[in-house]
């Protein structure tokens, strides 16, 4: 009975989604002719942080992580220490049968507040409880995300806490996470944004163990950290399009003419490495953006069986990849034992006029979030969001969305901008005009990704 209702509901949702898609596409045809030229150029310049070497790459095992003291709380004149988030309903599995049946989610220890959308909220300045760790404390951060080390003069971006409108988040608890994931494999699959979420999680968890150990990779595309005390591994796998593509080299993938593979089996080589993951978090978006809104796809022609390149509308190609991913997950993940997450589009901030800033500015020099609650940058394609909704809505496997797009839209202050390791020398012209090489795609650590993981923590244990 319950299932029948659920089925009806989901077909209703599907129907509504389809209807809004039709309305949306119709509207879009008339209104959205903006070019993505500037963004595409900027993306090409900065999308090179896929290979994520770690500091300990060159040799010795990472040493003990300093636990440090809470400097914010110790400062004179500071407000009283943060007393903890209001406790939400965390009742463990209730004993009556009805309740128990609803707890089908693996790893759940409690429940989120009913009807509360944790992705709908605002940023609150909180220099007492944020950040969760300092840049110096976490020795695992890739230099591409270390802003203080590369001269960022301000720290305000580290002190914002996400406050959902209808409830409060469970505070990230590293011990709890490691205890619940004892003997398990947590795997991030995607691009450098997923990679930075992976580093953030490593940092968040590192406070509860002596040190992470690098373990042998099963593929050049993998980065693996093991927490020996818990026999848990946290892994990242570079696959910016999920399917195979000509951007798969984990080190050298600055490819201008991007081609994704869409023939039968074009995900197999990657997905071979994803099997036996217990918790899987995947993302893909930034690499898809281009001026023409098209994607070149390698396909096999049905007549000759030859490989041919076909250009496709972006949303269509994205939809096909999502569908393939979902099918793989349905076949390889067990809803009773695994959890699957999808992190939505990470926004960029290349157009300051969109938030009412100067005409030619971008994220460079931004020190405050946006407080316009309806702000949405043009680089986050709602058409892609619709494709995601549809693909995950049709899946025969419970997916959990980590819908970071709106909350991250507000964070124009949180990008790495010019404060990161510059792998390619700067020209005199660039030096004179820092805005021209500002990275408004990636984000500093500690920073925004810690909140993405706090949401992951909430959805994993308090769904
Ligand atoms: C933390 O601060 C306290 C008091 O300021 C000090 O006694 C203690 O040694 C510090 N601990 C660490 C690990 O630095
Ligand atoms: C924290 O922020 C408050 C309000 O902006 C400020 O008064 C206080 O000095 C700050 N404390 C620290 C330690 O930065
Ligand atoms: C974190 O979780 C552990 C294990 O469940 C628990 O013992 C501890 O009290 C929690 N810490 C906080 C601050 O809630
Ligand atoms: C670690 O976990 C794996 C499963 O992920 C299991 O096969 C192995 O026996 C565990 N090792 C120890 C020492 O518990
Ligand atoms: C808030 O953002 C929306 C969408 O980006 C925009 O249309 C609106 O003008 C903005 N409002 C203000 C007060 O800036
Ligand atoms: C994510 O959140 C945004 C804004 O809150 C919403 O418009 C969008 O539909 C959500 N995405 C999905 C796939 O549900």
- Three-state SS string across the chain, please? CHHHHHHHHHHHHHHHHHHHHHHHHHHHHHHCCCCCHHHHHHHHHHCCCCCCCCHHHHCCCCCCCCCCCCHHHHCCCCCCCCCCCCCCCCCCCCCCHHHHHHCCCCCCCCCCCCCCCCCCEEEEECCCCCCCCCCCCCCCCCHHHCCHHHCCCCCHHHCEEEEECCCCCCCCCHHHHHHHCCCCEEEEEECHHHHHHHHHHHHHHHCCCCCCEECCCCCCCEEEEEECCCCEEEEEEECCCCCCECCCCCCCCCCCCCEEECCCCCCHHHHCCCCCCCEEEECCCHHHCCCCCEEEEEEECCCCCCEEEEEEEHHHHHHHHHHHHHHHHHHHCCCCCCEEEEECCCCCCCCHHHHCCCCCCCCCCCCCCCCCCCCCCCCCCHHHHHHHHHHHHHCCCCEEEECCHHHHHCCCCCEEECCCCCCCCCCHHHHHCHHHHCEEEEECCCCHHHHHHHHHHHHHHCC
CA 188/CA 343 separation, integer angstroms: 10
CA 26/CA 24 separation, integer angstroms: 5
Q: Which atom of ligand 5 is nearest to the CA of 372?
A: 1
Per-residue pLDDT, 11? 61
- Does any ligand 3 atom lie closer than 6 A to the CB of residue 90? no
Asked if residue 49 is part of any domain, the answer here is no
Pairing of strands 222-227, 232-238: antiparallel
Pairing of strands 232-238, 294-300: unpaired
Asked if residue 55 is part of any domain, the answer here is no
CA 39/CA 291 separation, integer angstroms: 8
**Of the residues 68, 69, 134, which should be mutated to test ligand 1's pocket, given the most ligand atoms within 8 Å of the CB?**
69
Per-residue pLDDT, 301? 82
CA 155/CA 158 separation, integer angstroms: 6
| CB contact at 8 A, 266 and 243 | yes
Q: Which atom of ligand 1 is nearest to the CA of 67?
A: 13
Residue nearest to atom 2 of ligand 4 (CA): 183
Ligand 1 centroid distance, CA of 202 (Å):
24
Half-sphere exposure in the Cβ direction for 164 (13 Å, CA): 25
| CB contact at 8 A, 242 and 327 | no
Ligand 5 centroid distance, CA of 35 (Å):
20
CA 359/CA 352 separation, integer angstroms: 6
Asked if residue 420 is part of any domain, the answer here is yes
All residues at 6 or more sequence positions from 367 whose CB lies less than 8 Å from its CB, including other chains = 154, 156, 157, 413
CA 184/CA 232 separation, integer angstroms: 5
210: which 2 tokens? 């002596």
Per-residue pLDDT, 159? 97
pLDDT tens track, the chain, 463 positions:
444 445 555 565 656 566 555 544 444 444 333 334 444 445 544 444 443 333 333 332 222 223 333 333 333 333 333 343 433 334 444 444 444 445 568 999 998 998 999 999 999 999 999 999 999 999 999 999 999 999 999 999 999 999 999 899 999 999 999 999 999 999 999 999 999 999 999 999 999 999 999 888 888 899 999 999 999 999 999 999 999 999 999 888 888 899 999 999 999 999 999 999 999 999 999 999 998 999 999 999 877 788 899 999 999 999 999 999 999 999 999 989 999 999 999 999 999 999 999 988 999 999 999 999 999 999 999 999 999 999 999 998 889 999 999 999 999 999 999 999 888 788 888 888 999 999 999 999 999 999 999 999 999 999 9
CA 211/CA 226 separation, integer angstroms: 9
Ligand 5 centroid distance, CA of 353 (Å):
11
CA 346/CA 116 separation, integer angstroms: 22
Ligand 5 centroid distance, CA of 371 (Å):
10
Range of the domain at 384: 72-291+317-461
CA 206/CA 450 separation, integer angstroms: 13
- Does any ligand 4 atom lie closer than 6 A to the CB of residue 231? yes
State the total domains in the chain.
1
Q: Which atom of ligand 3 is nearest to the CA of 84?
A: 13
Per-residue pLDDT, 67? 32
Per-residue pLDDT, 252? 83
| CB contact at 8 A, 194 and 283 | yes
Asked if residue 220 is part of any domain, the answer here is yes
Q: How many CB atoms lie within 10 A of CB 336?
A: 8
Asked if residue 307 is part of any domain, the answer here is no
| CB contact at 8 A, 89 and 110 | yes
Residue nearest to atom 11 of ligand 6 (CA): 385
Per-residue pLDDT, 85? 40
Asked if residue 102 is part of any domain, the answer here is yes
Q: How many CB atoms lie within 10 A of CB 40?
A: 17
Q: Is 232 exposed, middle or buried (0-12, 13-18, 19+ CB in 10 A)?
A: buried
Residue numbers annotated as active site: 192, 439, 442
Ligand 4 centroid distance, CA of 182 (Å):
9
Asked if residue 309 is part of any domain, the answer here is no
Asked if residue 357 is part of any domain, the answer here is yes
- Does any ligand 1 atom lie closer than 6 A to the CB of residue 69? yes
């Amino acid at each position: 009975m319950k299932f029948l209702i659920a089925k009806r509901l989901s077909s209703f949702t599907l129907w509504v989604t389809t209807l809004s898609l039709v309305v949306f596409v119709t509207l879009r045809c008339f209104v959205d002719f903006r070019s993505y030229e500037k963004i595409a150029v900027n993306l090409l310049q900065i999308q090179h942080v896929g290979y994520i070497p770690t500091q300990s790459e060159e040799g010795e095992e990472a040493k003990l992580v300093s636990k440090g003291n809470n400097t914010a709380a110790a400062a004179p004149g500071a407000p009283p220490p943060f007393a903890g988030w209001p406790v939400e309903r965390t009742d463990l599995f209730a004993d009556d049968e009805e309740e128990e049946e609803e707890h089908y989610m693996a790893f759940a220890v409690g429940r989120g507040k009913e009807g509360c959308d944790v992705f709908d909220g605002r940023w609150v300045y909180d220099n007492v409880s944020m950040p969760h760790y300092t840049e110096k404390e976490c020795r695992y951060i890739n230099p591409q995300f270390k802003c203080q080390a590369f001269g960022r003069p301000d720290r305000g971006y580290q002190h914002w806490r996400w406050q959902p409108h209808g409830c409060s988040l469970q505070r990230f608890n590293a011990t709890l996470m490691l205890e619940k994931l004892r003997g398990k494999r947590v795997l991030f699959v995607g691009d450098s944004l997923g990679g930075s979420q992976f580093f953030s999680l490593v940092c968040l968890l590192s406070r509860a163990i002596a040190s992470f150990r690098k373990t042998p990779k099963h593929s050049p595309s993998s980065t693996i950290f093991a927490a020996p005390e818990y026999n848990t591994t946290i892994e990242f796998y570079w696959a910016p399009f999920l399917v195979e593509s000509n951007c798969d080299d984990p080190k050298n993938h600055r490819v201008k003419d991007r081609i994704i593979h869409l023939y039968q089996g074009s995900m197999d080589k990657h997905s071979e490495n994803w099997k036996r993951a217990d918790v899987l978090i995947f993302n893909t978006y930034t690499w898809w953006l281009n001026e023409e809104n098209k994607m070149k796809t390698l396909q096999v022609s049905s007549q000759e069986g030859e490989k041919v390149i076909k250009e496709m509308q972006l949303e269509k190609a994205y939809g096909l990849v999502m569908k393939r991913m979902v099918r793989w997950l349905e076949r390889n993940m067990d809803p009773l034992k695994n959890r699957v997450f999808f992190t939505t589009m990470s926004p960029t901030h290349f157009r300051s006029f969109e938030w009412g800033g100067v005409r030619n500015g971008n994220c460079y020099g931004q020190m405050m979030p946006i407080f316009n609650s309806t702000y949405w940058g043009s680089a986050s394609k709602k058409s892609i969001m619709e494709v995601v909704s549809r693909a995950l809505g049709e899946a025969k496997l419970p997916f959990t969305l980590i819908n970071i797009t709106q909350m991250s839209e507000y964070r124009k202050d949180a990008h790495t901008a010019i404060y990161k390791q510059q792998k390619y020398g700067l020209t005199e012209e660039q030096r004179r005009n820092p805005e021209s090489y500002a990275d408004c795609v990636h984000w500093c650590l500690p920073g925004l990704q810690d909140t993405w993981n706090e949401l992951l923590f909430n959805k994993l244990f308090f769904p």
